[in-house]
Structure 1
């Protein structure tokens, strides 16, 4: 079994996965004997073993600041999906709406920075994987074929030149894509892609529609996923998981 968890910000703000919960998750994974692999290793896995993939969308700076040291401490790998167009940009989060905006306002007032070239090179030095997440984070299914091609090809070329690194993993911004997107990835040198569809990794399925789980805030939900019983998670448990997130209640 392969479980693929995804994260965005790791920190102590209203839109972040709390640092203590992140470390607890790593410790729990080790206790349950899950082997850490990068996204580009899923097709090399042993079907008799359990694996976990940790993916980080957008590459917020607080992930580098708060999560990297814990990954190294507990001997975990990570796959980091980069949006080069966010270099040097500050985006604004909203506790009320639980999302980010390019503009600061009364509701969008929590600043978030992103990793840059220095941090990306450090990630590679530490044995992590870098993947593409488009250049500017658009909804790909809202773009025409040439606009999609530009977002995909430029992001890959930019990162490969900057890092002197060949990448072949992709993640769809906001989980939005269509058949055109998949064809462009296949013809553009990519071998696999992450969605936001909930479920376990199927190594025999479409490599461009790999499922993931949003990192859970509830210990019960986490353990249910690790036992291969995500289908047993009730609506009430999902509500409690959301409440746990909003009030930062510890496990």
Structure 2
């Protein structure tokens, strides 16, 4: 190789290194940048992605609930190829940072229904969600997920701001045990006691909630009644 060629190669190598350094410097080391893999599907700040079935709202969900789901995806207890792949390298500290970031985001409520339900369907959905169905041994959704349906710390998610498709799909998975959780497996019990019509009605009513529909109050949920004893999960020491 001639000296000119060697010099040219050195110049190109130095230029490439400089460009790489500039590129690294241009990417801010922030939590927002580090969760791009999440927000690319789940939407800006985790408010819900365009594929509402596959990418639900993360914003405002309890941090321990999000940590638990990362743990389930990492172990394969909860099935999703993309999530299983993404969670594999997560350390407990990193997973906690991600969970707390999304838990700290303000949630938004917008109708997430894909069709216009009848008044009868909406009335039945409201009844199931707020009162349950004692004839089938179905407790109200509000008795566990909170009177505001925004979730209860540490591990119970909010049901508002989620799409009809996502809510219904989760009930189907709970019924078939394709969505797993540590015991008590209370959602499987509830889902299997509900009729298919009630699953659809409850999901439709929940997906139609807007800000004006959400009851406001103490964000700590200190005024909520105790959870049913048969449906309390010990989440001490949650790690993915």
Q: Normalization by structure 2: what TM-score?
A: 0.25
Structure of greater Rg: 2
Q: Greater relative contact order: 1 or 2 (C-alpha under 8 angstroms, separation 6 or more)? A: 2
Q: Normalization by structure 1: what TM-score?
A: 0.24
Q: Which has the higher strand share?
A: 1
